[in-house]
Amino acid sequence: MNYNKGIALMGLCMTAIGLASTLFYNMSMKKRGQTGKAPAATNDVKNDGRFAMKSVSSHKRIKETVAIGNLHERIGLPAAKTRLHLAELNRERNDGTSPIVSSSDNTVSATRIHGKAIYQPDGRAREFCLWACNLYNGCSNNCDYCFNNKSIMAGTLGGIIVSLKKSLVDTETAFEIFKTELTRWRSKIIKDGGLHFNFVSDPCLAETIELNFRCMDEAQRQGVPCQILTKCADWLDHPAVQNVLSRKGFVSVGFTLTGRDDLEPGASTNRERIQSMKELHNAGISTWASIEPIIDPDLSFEMIRETAGFCDHYKIGILSGKKGYAPQQIRDFVAKVQSLGHTSIYWKESLREFINKQ
C-alpha cells in the first residue's frame, strides 16, 4: 500500500514539474515575441481558380519576391573589355543579395544531406541551388545534349522513360516521405534560400506535374520558397499548379532557353517557353532563364535579347564536352549580353573558366 502511494506521489510530482516547465517556456517565448510557427504563405487564387493576372513592374516584383537560392545575384562585367578575368566576372554589386555559390562553396557542411526526395546537390549543380527535390527519374524532353539521356548514367537516371523513383514506392508514399524530410530540414532550407525542382526530370511534364506541385504547395505552406526549371510551356492552366503560382512571393519559374528546338524534340519550342515566361511575368511572378548550354552563341544571345524585358534573372553556362566555338567567341558573347544592360546575371563557373583560356 505504501509502495503504491509512493508511486502515485512520484507521478504527481513529475506532472507538476512538467506543467511548470511548459509554463516557463511559454512565458519566455511570449516575452521574446516568438511563436515557433512556420510563416504563413498567402493564397490569392482568383475566383476562376487561375493565378491572378495583373501587370507588375519588374522593379517592384524583384523587391517583393523572396530570393530563391542565387536567383537575385548581380555580377558586373565591363562591356568594353574583350579579355575578361575571373575577378571581373565575380564582381558583385552589393545590394544585399546572396553570395555566389560555386562548386567550392562551403556555406553548408562538406557532408551533404541526401534524403529520398530532398537533398543537397554536389558539384556545379550547387550553382543552381543549395537544396533540391527529385521525385522522378527520366525526362521525355529527349534533349540531345542532356546528361540524363546521353551519359553513362542514363540507365540509372532513367533516360527518356519517366518513372517515380523506386525508393519512393508510390505517389502517396512519396508525398509522405517529402513532408517528413521537409519538416526535418525546413529551417535549413529556408535559410539557404529555398528548394529547386528538379534536376533529373522536368517538374512540368504530364507524368510529373501533379506530385511535384503538390509537394511545392506543401513546401510553401511551411514557408519554403520554391524554384522551378522546365522546358514545358503548356502547363500554366493546369489545376495542380494554381495554388503554387498564386503565392507569388514563394515561387520563381525558370525556363531553359537554347534556341535549338531541333535538339529538344520532346520539349515545347523555345518560342512557346518565351511566351509562357512573358505571361508569368505579367502576372507578377518572378521569372528566370537558364541559358545553358550555349550551343550557338548567336542563338543564345537572341534568347536573352528577346526576353530581357520580362526575365528577372539569367544563369548562363556553356556546353560540356566538345564545343563548336572558341573562348574568344564566348568573350564576345559576354560583351554583347552586357551591352543589353540587364542587371541580374549569373555567369556559371564553366563559362568563367572557359573564357580565361588562351
Cell representation of residue 163: 518513372
Model pLDDT, residue 32: 40
Instruction: Confirm if 197 and 189 have CB atoms less than 8 A apart.
Output: no
Task: Say what the pTM is.
Answer: 0.73
Residues 148 and 135: their CA atoms lie apart, in Å, by: 14
Question: How far, in Å, CA of 178 to CA of 218, rounded?
Answer: 9
* Residue in the structure block whose three cell numbers are 518572378: 286
Residue 201 has a pLDDT of: 93
- CA 46, 50, 55, 59 torsion-angle sign: positive
Please tell me the predicted confidence (pLDDT) of residue 103: 34
Q: Are strands 345-347 and 313-318 parallel, antiparallel or unpaired?
A: parallel
Give the start-end residues of each E strand in 220-312: 226-230, 251-256, 286-294
292: helix, coil or strand?
Answer: strand
357 band by pLDDT with thresholds 50, 70 and 90: confident
Q: Cβ–Cβ contacts within 10 Å for residue 238, how many?
A: 15
CA distance 88 to 76: 7
DSSP, residue by residue, 316-353: EEEPSSS-SS-HHHHHHHHHHHHHTT-S-EEE-HHHHH
The reported pLDDT for the residue numbered 251 is: 97
According to DSSP, the β-strands at 118-119 and 132-133 are antiparallel
260: cell is 535549338
Task: Tell me the mean pLDDT in the region 34-50.
Answer: 47
What pLDDT score does 84 carry? 29
pLDDT per position as a tens digit, 290-306: 999 999 999 999 999 99
Task: Residue 70: name the closest of 292, 253, 313 by CA.
Answer: 313
Q: What is the model's pLDDT at position 111?
A: 81
Q: Are 287 and 256 in contact (CB under 8 A)?
A: no
The percentage of the chain sitting over the pLDDT mark of 90, rounded to a whole number, equals 57
